[in-house]
Amino acid sequence: MSGAASASQDGARRRQADPEAGARLLDREPPPGYRAEWTEYLAKPAKVAAVTTDSAMVFRVGAEWLALPSAWVGEVAPVRAVHSLPHRKGRALDGLVNVRGELLPCFSLERVLGIEASTGPSGARRLIVAGRGAHRLVFRADEVFGVLRYDAARRQVSPGRFALVKHLLDWNGHSLGLLEAEALWVALERSLA
């Protein structure tokens, strides 16, 4: 008989030699203090972490990564033709865009926030339809990452580079500017006047 076969049979005999070994191991008395230690541990109230998670749509406008609370985002759509309005050149309003048969105002966040316009390829550009109820609008994003969940307690106060960004979020080595949705809407409505 070969050495490998003999070793295999010896191992099998040892496993079969004492079938009650597992039962004896589990039925033995616990070490001194074991029950008291676990009783004390399990009697403590459970620690509940006070984490408030929020979510935001992450996108890039020019060189700036921004986020808008996801409750304000309706959909992300492919870029469509924007129909300009007469006597509206140079303002935040770019024109009107047709989204699913509805004409919505399309704004330039570059002009609203004072961001330098992107000069790179436009293949990743998308339209973000945002708002609540009947008050919906559209703005272009050069790139859309998607939805980010974050702990609201970990937001950092913005140094004030953009008036509509009150908090910053850390994300993939970038600082995201979390847009204040209410203030953004007020600024966009004001730009229509």
* Cα gap 115→75, rounded to integer Å: 23
Token readout for 66 is 């921004």
Task: Indicate if 17 and 110 belong to the same structural domain.
Answer: no
The pLDDT assigned to 189 comes to 80
Asked whether residue 101 is assigned to any structural domain, the reply reads yes
Structural domains of the chain, count: 2
DSSP character for 79? -
The pLDDT assigned to 39 comes to 92
Residue 3 has φ and ψ, to the nearest 5°, of: -65, -35
Asked whether residue 48 is assigned to any structural domain, the reply reads no
Asked whether residue 103 is assigned to any structural domain, the reply reads yes
In the chain, at which residue ranges do the beta strands (DSSP E only) sit?
A: 53-61, 64-69, 73-78, 82-83, 93-99, 102-107, 126-132, 135-141, 143-151, 156-157, 165-171, 174-179
Q: What is the pLDDT of residues 63-75, one digit of tens each?
A: 889 999 999 999 9
Asked whether residue 19 is assigned to any structural domain, the reply reads yes
Name residues of the chain where pLDDT drops below 50.
none
Task: Indicate if 16 and 66 belong to the same structural domain.
Answer: no
The pLDDT assigned to 116 comes to 83
Token readout for 139 is 């703005």
Residue 176 has φ and ψ, to the nearest 5°, of: -90, 135
Task: Indicate if 24 and 60 belong to the same structural domain.
Answer: no
Task: Indicate if 94 and 169 belong to the same structural domain.
Answer: yes
Asked whether residue 73 is assigned to any structural domain, the reply reads yes
Task: Indicate if 160 and 110 belong to the same structural domain.
Answer: yes
Segments forming the whole domain that contains residue 179:
53-192
The pLDDT assigned to 26 comes to 82
Asked whether residue 118 is assigned to any structural domain, the reply reads yes
The pLDDT assigned to 3 comes to 55
Task: Indicate if 58 and 8 belong to the same structural domain.
Answer: no
Q: Whole-model pTM above 0.85? A: no
Task: Indicate if 81 and 150 belong to the same structural domain.
Answer: yes
3-state secondary structure 134-149: CEEEEEEECEEEEEEE
Asked whether residue 139 is assigned to any structural domain, the reply reads yes
Task: Indicate if 113 and 174 belong to the same structural domain.
Answer: yes
Task: Indicate if 28 and 88 belong to the same structural domain.
Answer: no
Asked whether residue 134 is assigned to any structural domain, the reply reads yes
Specify the CATH number for the domain of residue 94. 2.40.50.180
